[in-house]
Structure 1
Amino acid sequence: MESEQLLSALKKEARQITDQDICLARAAIFDSVKDLPEKYRRAYSSDYFSHLYQAFQELRICRYPDKSEPIDDEEYRSLLVRICHQTDDGNSKHKAFHRFASVVIPYLVFIAKRTIHPVGMIFPGGLMIVSHEGEYYCPVKNKQSDVDVAVCDLCRCRDSEELDP
Protein backbone atom coordinates (compact mmCIF):
# COMPACT_ATOMS: atom_id res chain seq x y z
CA MET A 1 0.00 0.00 0.00
CA GLU A 2 1.12 3.58 -0.62
CA SER A 3 0.95 6.37 1.98
CA GLU A 4 -1.55 8.24 -0.20
CA GLN A 5 -3.90 5.22 -0.15
CA LEU A 6 -3.52 4.82 3.61
CA LEU A 7 -4.17 8.51 4.19
CA SER A 8 -7.30 8.33 2.06
CA ALA A 9 -8.57 5.30 4.01
CA LEU A 10 -7.78 6.91 7.37
CA LYS A 11 -9.52 10.15 6.40
CA LYS A 12 -12.59 8.18 5.31
CA GLU A 13 -12.63 6.25 8.60
CA ALA A 14 -12.08 9.48 10.58
CA ARG A 15 -15.29 10.89 9.06
CA GLN A 16 -17.16 7.93 10.58
CA ILE A 17 -15.96 8.68 14.12
CA THR A 18 -18.61 10.63 16.01
CA ASP A 19 -18.29 13.07 18.88
CA GLN A 20 -19.75 10.35 21.09
CA ASP A 21 -17.01 7.94 19.97
CA ILE A 22 -14.40 10.54 20.89
CA CYS A 23 -15.97 11.11 24.33
CA LEU A 24 -16.09 7.36 24.95
CA ALA A 25 -12.47 6.93 23.79
CA ARG A 26 -11.41 9.69 26.18
CA ALA A 27 -13.33 8.01 29.00
CA ALA A 28 -11.61 4.70 28.23
CA ILE A 29 -8.20 6.35 28.53
CA PHE A 30 -9.19 7.99 31.84
CA ASP A 31 -10.57 4.69 33.17
CA SER A 32 -7.38 2.85 32.26
CA VAL A 33 -5.24 5.09 34.49
CA LYS A 34 -7.49 5.50 37.51
CA ASP A 35 -5.24 3.32 39.70
CA LEU A 36 -1.99 5.08 38.79
CA PRO A 37 -0.33 7.51 41.20
CA GLU A 38 -1.63 11.06 40.74
CA LYS A 39 1.58 12.40 39.19
CA TYR A 40 1.28 9.93 36.30
CA ARG A 41 -2.49 10.02 35.90
CA ARG A 42 -2.54 13.33 34.00
CA ALA A 43 0.29 12.35 31.63
CA TYR A 44 -1.36 9.02 30.82
CA SER A 45 -4.84 10.48 30.45
CA SER A 46 -5.42 14.10 29.50
CA ASP A 47 -1.96 14.78 28.00
CA TYR A 48 -2.02 11.54 26.01
CA PHE A 49 -5.60 12.04 24.86
CA SER A 50 -4.87 15.66 23.86
CA HIS A 51 -1.94 14.43 21.76
CA LEU A 52 -4.14 11.86 20.01
CA TYR A 53 -7.03 14.27 19.54
CA GLN A 54 -4.76 16.92 18.02
CA ALA A 55 -3.49 14.30 15.56
CA PHE A 56 -7.09 13.30 14.79
CA GLN A 57 -8.01 16.91 13.98
CA GLU A 58 -4.90 17.23 11.85
CA LEU A 59 -5.74 14.03 9.96
CA ARG A 60 -9.20 15.29 9.09
CA ILE A 61 -7.77 18.31 7.22
CA CYS A 62 -4.50 16.76 6.08
CA ARG A 63 -3.62 17.26 2.44
CA TYR A 64 -2.27 14.47 0.33
CA PRO A 65 1.52 14.33 0.16
CA ASP A 66 3.38 15.46 -2.93
CA LYS A 67 5.15 12.13 -2.94
CA SER A 68 3.54 8.87 -1.91
CA GLU A 69 5.71 6.37 -0.04
CA PRO A 70 5.29 2.62 0.39
CA ILE A 71 3.70 1.40 3.63
CA ASP A 72 4.57 -2.07 4.88
CA ASP A 73 1.20 -3.87 4.84
CA GLU A 74 2.32 -6.37 7.47
CA GLU A 75 3.42 -3.59 9.86
CA TYR A 76 0.10 -1.81 9.34
CA ARG A 77 -1.94 -4.98 9.98
CA SER A 78 0.19 -5.82 13.02
CA LEU A 79 -0.38 -2.34 14.44
CA LEU A 80 -4.16 -2.66 14.06
CA VAL A 81 -4.20 -6.10 15.67
CA ARG A 82 -2.19 -4.87 18.65
CA ILE A 83 -4.44 -1.84 19.12
CA CYS A 84 -7.53 -4.04 19.11
CA HIS A 85 -6.01 -6.51 21.58
CA GLN A 86 -5.00 -3.89 24.14
CA THR A 87 -8.38 -4.45 25.80
CA ASP A 88 -10.98 -6.71 24.29
CA ASP A 89 -13.90 -6.94 26.68
CA GLY A 90 -16.72 -5.59 24.52
CA ASN A 91 -16.98 -2.45 26.66
CA SER A 92 -18.41 0.45 24.59
CA LYS A 93 -15.65 2.78 25.81
CA HIS A 94 -12.96 0.34 24.71
CA LYS A 95 -14.65 -0.22 21.34
CA ALA A 96 -14.70 3.56 20.79
CA PHE A 97 -11.05 3.82 21.82
CA HIS A 98 -10.11 1.06 19.36
CA ARG A 99 -11.92 2.85 16.52
CA PHE A 100 -10.28 6.15 17.42
CA ALA A 101 -6.79 4.70 17.97
CA SER A 102 -7.02 2.59 14.79
CA VAL A 103 -7.24 5.82 12.83
CA VAL A 104 -4.98 8.14 14.82
CA ILE A 105 -2.04 5.88 15.63
CA PRO A 106 -1.48 4.70 12.02
CA TYR A 107 -1.66 8.36 10.99
CA LEU A 108 1.04 9.28 13.53
CA VAL A 109 3.24 6.30 12.64
CA PHE A 110 2.97 6.08 8.85
CA ILE A 111 1.85 9.52 7.63
CA ALA A 112 2.91 12.21 10.13
CA LYS A 113 5.90 10.17 11.33
CA ARG A 114 5.62 11.48 14.86
CA THR A 115 5.62 9.92 18.29
CA ILE A 116 2.70 7.86 19.54
CA HIS A 117 2.95 9.48 22.97
CA PRO A 118 3.50 13.22 23.44
CA VAL A 119 6.94 14.73 23.89
CA GLY A 120 7.31 15.47 27.59
CA MET A 121 5.26 12.46 28.70
CA ILE A 122 6.70 11.28 32.00
CA PHE A 123 7.28 7.63 32.86
CA PRO A 124 7.90 5.95 36.21
CA GLY A 125 11.30 6.98 37.47
CA GLY A 126 10.80 10.55 36.23
CA LEU A 127 12.14 9.91 32.75
CA MET A 128 10.25 11.36 29.80
CA ILE A 129 9.98 11.43 26.03
CA VAL A 130 12.29 14.16 24.74
CA SER A 131 13.14 15.75 21.42
CA HIS A 132 16.79 16.43 20.63
CA GLU A 133 18.14 17.66 17.29
CA GLY A 134 15.12 16.49 15.33
CA GLU A 135 15.00 13.03 16.91
CA TYR A 136 12.66 11.72 19.60
CA TYR A 137 13.82 9.60 22.52
CA CYS A 138 11.71 7.43 24.82
CA PRO A 139 12.88 5.87 28.09
CA VAL A 140 10.76 2.72 27.59
CA LYS A 141 11.18 2.14 23.86
CA ASN A 142 13.31 -1.02 24.14
CA LYS A 143 11.69 -2.17 27.38
CA GLN A 144 8.36 -2.96 25.70
CA SER A 145 9.61 -5.59 23.26
CA ASP A 146 8.15 -8.47 25.26
CA VAL A 147 4.71 -6.85 25.61
CA ASP A 148 2.56 -8.37 22.85
CA VAL A 149 0.14 -5.45 22.56
CA ALA A 150 2.75 -2.66 22.73
CA VAL A 151 3.16 -0.63 19.56
CA CYS A 152 6.48 0.89 20.62
CA ASP A 153 8.46 -0.89 17.91
CA LEU A 154 6.58 1.13 15.27
CA CYS A 155 6.91 4.46 17.08
CA ARG A 156 9.32 6.99 15.65
CA CYS A 157 11.08 7.36 19.00
CA ARG A 158 14.50 5.96 19.56
CA ASP A 159 15.51 4.53 22.93
CA SER A 160 16.71 7.17 25.41
CA GLU A 161 19.87 5.15 25.95
CA GLU A 162 20.92 6.20 22.43
CA LEU A 163 20.88 9.87 23.43
CA ASP A 164 24.38 11.13 24.01
CA PRO A 165 24.65 12.80 27.44
Structure 2
Amino acid sequence: METINDIPSYQKMGRKKFFTILRRETNLINLQDIMRASLFLIDDAKYVQGNYRKEYLESYTKAFIMRIQEVKAHHVESDELLDIAEVQDAVRLLQEQEKLAAEGEGFDPAFFKIYKIISLYTTFILVESVHPVGTPFPGGLQVKYDGEKFLCPVKERQKDNPGAVCGFCIAEQDPETM
Protein backbone atom coordinates (compact mmCIF):
# COMPACT_ATOMS: atom_id res chain seq x y z
CA MET A 1 0.00 0.00 0.00
CA GLU A 2 1.39 3.39 -1.00
CA THR A 3 1.63 5.98 1.75
CA ILE A 4 2.48 9.65 2.04
CA ASN A 5 6.00 8.60 3.04
CA ASP A 6 6.51 7.00 -0.40
CA ILE A 7 5.96 10.29 -2.26
CA PRO A 8 9.58 11.58 -2.05
CA SER A 9 10.61 8.69 -4.33
CA TYR A 10 8.10 9.53 -7.11
CA GLN A 11 9.13 11.14 -10.37
CA LYS A 12 5.63 12.50 -11.10
CA MET A 13 2.15 12.31 -9.61
CA GLY A 14 -1.34 13.27 -10.67
CA ARG A 15 -3.98 14.73 -8.38
CA LYS A 16 -6.07 11.53 -8.39
CA LYS A 17 -3.22 9.28 -7.27
CA PHE A 18 -2.16 11.79 -4.61
CA PHE A 19 -5.71 12.05 -3.33
CA THR A 20 -6.09 8.25 -3.31
CA ILE A 21 -3.07 8.05 -0.99
CA LEU A 22 -4.48 10.78 1.28
CA ARG A 23 -7.91 9.13 1.43
CA ARG A 24 -6.39 5.73 2.20
CA GLU A 25 -4.49 7.22 5.13
CA THR A 26 -7.61 9.09 6.25
CA ASN A 27 -9.45 5.77 6.41
CA LEU A 28 -6.83 4.55 8.91
CA ILE A 29 -7.77 7.30 11.37
CA ASN A 30 -10.05 5.84 14.02
CA LEU A 31 -12.24 7.26 16.76
CA GLN A 32 -9.47 6.88 19.32
CA ASP A 33 -7.16 9.00 17.13
CA ILE A 34 -9.84 11.68 16.85
CA MET A 35 -10.39 11.67 20.61
CA ARG A 36 -6.64 11.90 21.31
CA ALA A 37 -6.26 14.70 18.76
CA SER A 38 -9.15 16.59 20.35
CA LEU A 39 -7.64 16.21 23.81
CA PHE A 40 -4.30 17.42 22.45
CA LEU A 41 -5.97 20.58 21.10
CA ILE A 42 -7.72 21.20 24.41
CA ASP A 43 -4.47 20.73 26.32
CA ASP A 44 -2.55 22.90 23.85
CA ALA A 45 -5.15 25.66 24.23
CA LYS A 46 -4.10 26.23 27.83
CA TYR A 47 -1.16 28.20 26.42
CA VAL A 48 -3.46 30.45 24.38
CA GLN A 49 -4.73 33.80 25.69
CA GLY A 50 -7.99 33.33 27.56
CA ASN A 51 -10.08 35.66 25.40
CA TYR A 52 -8.86 33.89 22.25
CA ARG A 53 -8.97 30.29 23.55
CA LYS A 54 -12.58 29.47 22.56
CA GLU A 55 -12.08 30.74 18.99
CA TYR A 56 -8.79 28.85 18.77
CA LEU A 57 -10.39 25.55 19.77
CA GLU A 58 -13.38 25.97 17.45
CA SER A 59 -11.18 26.98 14.54
CA TYR A 60 -8.61 24.21 14.88
CA THR A 61 -11.25 21.56 15.49
CA LYS A 62 -13.07 22.66 12.34
CA ALA A 63 -9.89 23.13 10.28
CA PHE A 64 -8.35 19.78 11.09
CA ILE A 65 -10.47 17.26 12.96
CA MET A 66 -13.83 17.89 11.27
CA ARG A 67 -12.20 17.91 7.83
CA ILE A 68 -11.46 14.20 8.05
CA GLN A 69 -15.07 13.51 6.96
CA GLU A 70 -14.65 16.00 4.11
CA VAL A 71 -11.66 14.06 2.77
CA LYS A 72 -13.63 10.82 2.92
CA ALA A 73 -16.51 12.32 0.92
CA HIS A 74 -14.43 14.34 -1.57
CA HIS A 75 -14.03 13.28 -5.21
CA VAL A 76 -11.22 14.42 -7.46
CA GLU A 77 -12.15 14.82 -11.12
CA SER A 78 -8.97 16.33 -12.54
CA ASP A 79 -5.85 14.23 -12.86
CA GLU A 80 -3.50 17.07 -13.72
CA LEU A 81 0.09 16.54 -12.71
CA LEU A 82 1.16 18.12 -9.46
CA ASP A 83 4.42 20.00 -9.09
CA ILE A 84 6.17 16.95 -7.65
CA ALA A 85 9.05 18.99 -6.20
CA GLU A 86 6.60 21.12 -4.18
CA VAL A 87 4.73 18.04 -2.96
CA GLN A 88 7.97 16.28 -2.03
CA ASP A 89 9.24 19.33 -0.14
CA ALA A 90 5.97 19.46 1.81
CA VAL A 91 6.12 15.74 2.60
CA ARG A 92 9.75 15.98 3.73
CA LEU A 93 8.91 18.88 6.05
CA LEU A 94 6.03 16.87 7.49
CA GLN A 95 8.28 13.82 7.91
CA GLU A 96 10.70 15.92 9.98
CA GLN A 97 7.82 17.24 12.07
CA GLU A 98 6.51 13.69 12.50
CA LYS A 99 9.86 12.57 13.93
CA LEU A 100 9.64 15.35 16.50
CA ALA A 101 6.04 14.42 17.32
CA ALA A 102 7.05 10.77 17.82
CA GLU A 103 9.78 11.92 20.21
CA GLY A 104 7.22 13.89 22.23
CA GLU A 105 8.23 17.27 20.81
CA GLY A 106 5.37 19.44 19.54
CA PHE A 107 2.28 17.66 18.26
CA ASP A 108 0.63 14.56 19.68
CA PRO A 109 1.13 11.71 17.15
CA ALA A 110 -2.66 11.21 16.83
CA PHE A 111 -3.18 14.88 16.04
CA PHE A 112 -0.20 14.82 13.72
CA LYS A 113 -1.72 12.08 11.56
CA ILE A 114 -4.71 14.33 10.95
CA TYR A 115 -2.63 17.51 10.61
CA LYS A 116 -0.41 15.89 7.97
CA ILE A 117 -3.30 14.69 5.80
CA ILE A 118 -5.34 17.89 6.07
CA SER A 119 -2.34 20.15 5.39
CA LEU A 120 -1.56 18.27 2.18
CA TYR A 121 -5.24 18.00 1.21
CA THR A 122 -5.99 21.71 1.55
CA THR A 123 -2.78 22.77 -0.19
CA PHE A 124 -2.60 20.37 -3.12
CA ILE A 125 -6.15 19.11 -3.62
CA LEU A 126 -8.35 22.07 -2.63
CA VAL A 127 -5.63 24.63 -3.49
CA GLU A 128 -6.57 26.63 -0.39
CA SER A 129 -4.67 27.89 2.61
CA VAL A 130 -4.06 25.33 5.34
CA HIS A 131 -5.93 27.50 7.83
CA PRO A 132 -9.42 28.25 6.52
CA VAL A 133 -10.60 31.78 5.85
CA GLY A 134 -11.61 33.34 9.14
CA THR A 135 -9.11 31.39 11.24
CA PRO A 136 -8.35 33.76 14.10
CA PHE A 137 -4.89 34.69 15.29
CA PRO A 138 -4.02 36.71 18.41
CA GLY A 139 -4.62 40.42 18.10
CA GLY A 140 -7.89 40.04 16.21
CA LEU A 141 -6.10 39.00 13.01
CA GLN A 142 -7.42 36.30 10.70
CA VAL A 143 -6.86 34.50 7.41
CA LYS A 144 -8.65 36.26 4.53
CA TYR A 145 -9.49 35.62 0.89
CA ASP A 146 -9.51 38.69 -1.35
CA GLY A 147 -11.19 36.97 -4.31
CA GLU A 148 -7.86 35.99 -5.86
CA LYS A 149 -5.54 34.84 -3.11
CA PHE A 150 -5.48 33.74 0.50
CA LEU A 151 -3.89 36.21 2.90
CA CYS A 152 -2.33 35.16 6.18
CA PRO A 153 -1.43 37.60 8.96
CA VAL A 154 1.59 35.55 10.13
CA LYS A 155 3.04 33.96 6.96
CA GLU A 156 6.30 35.92 6.90
CA ARG A 157 6.99 35.35 10.59
CA GLN A 158 6.29 31.61 10.37
CA LYS A 159 7.36 30.51 6.87
CA ASP A 160 10.80 29.35 8.06
CA ASN A 161 9.50 27.80 11.29
CA PRO A 162 10.31 24.06 11.02
CA GLY A 163 7.27 23.31 13.20
CA ALA A 164 4.80 25.06 10.87
CA VAL A 165 3.39 24.27 7.42
CA CYS A 166 3.62 27.90 6.32
CA GLY A 167 6.55 27.03 4.05
CA PHE A 168 4.27 25.14 1.67
CA CYS A 169 0.90 26.75 2.41
CA ILE A 170 -0.37 28.72 -0.60
CA ALA A 171 -1.43 31.72 1.50
CA GLU A 172 0.51 34.91 1.03
CA GLN A 173 1.44 37.42 3.69
CA ASP A 174 -1.41 39.85 4.31
CA PRO A 175 0.14 43.22 3.44
CA GLU A 176 -2.04 44.89 6.08
CA THR A 177 -0.25 42.98 8.84
CA MET A 178 3.40 43.46 7.80
Q: TM-score, normalized by length of structure 1?
A: 0.85
CA distance in 2, matches of 1:153, 1:162: 20
Question: SS at 2:151's partner residue?
Answer: strand
Post-superposition Cα deviations, 1:57-101, rounded to whole Å, max 9, x if no partner, equal 11101112233322424223224225425644449x811111111
CA contact (8 A) 2:160 2:167 kept: no
Cα distance, 1:40 vs. partner? 2.0
Question: SS at 1:154's partner residue?
Answer: coil
CA distance in 2, matches of 1:149, 1:35: 16
The residue aligned with 2:152 is 138
> How many correspondences in the alignment?
162
Identity of aligned residues (%): 27
Give the 3 Å change call, closer, same or farther, for CA 70–146 of structure 1 in structure 2: closer
Of the candidates 148, 155, 166, which is equivalent to residue 152 of structure 1?
Answer: 166
The runs of 5 or more residues in structure 1 that have no matched partner are none
**Bigger Cα displacement from structure 2, 130-139 vs 74-83:** 74-83
CA contact (8 A) 1:79 1:106 kept: no
Q: TM-score, normalized by length of structure 2?
A: 0.79
Say whether residues 1:126 and 2:120 are aligned partners: no
Of the candidates 1, 11, 35, which is equivalent to residue 23 of structure 2?
Answer: 11
Of the candidates 44, 53, 75, which is equivalent to residue 56 of structure 2?
Answer: 44
Of the candidates 105, 111, 116, which is equivalent to residue 97 of structure 1?
Answer: 111
CA distance in 2, matches of 1:51, 1:79: 20
Give the 3 Å change call, closer, same or farther, for CA 46–144 of structure 1 in structure 2: same
- Residues 105-116 of structure 1 aligned to structure 2 (within 5 Å): 105-116=119-130
Once superposed, what is the RMSD of the aligned Cα atoms? 2.3
CA contact (8 A) 1:71 1:110 kept: no
Find runs of 4+ consecutive structure 1 residues off by over 6 angstroms.
none
CA contact (8 A) 1:4 1:69 kept: no
The runs of 5 or more residues in structure 2 that have no matched partner are 1-12
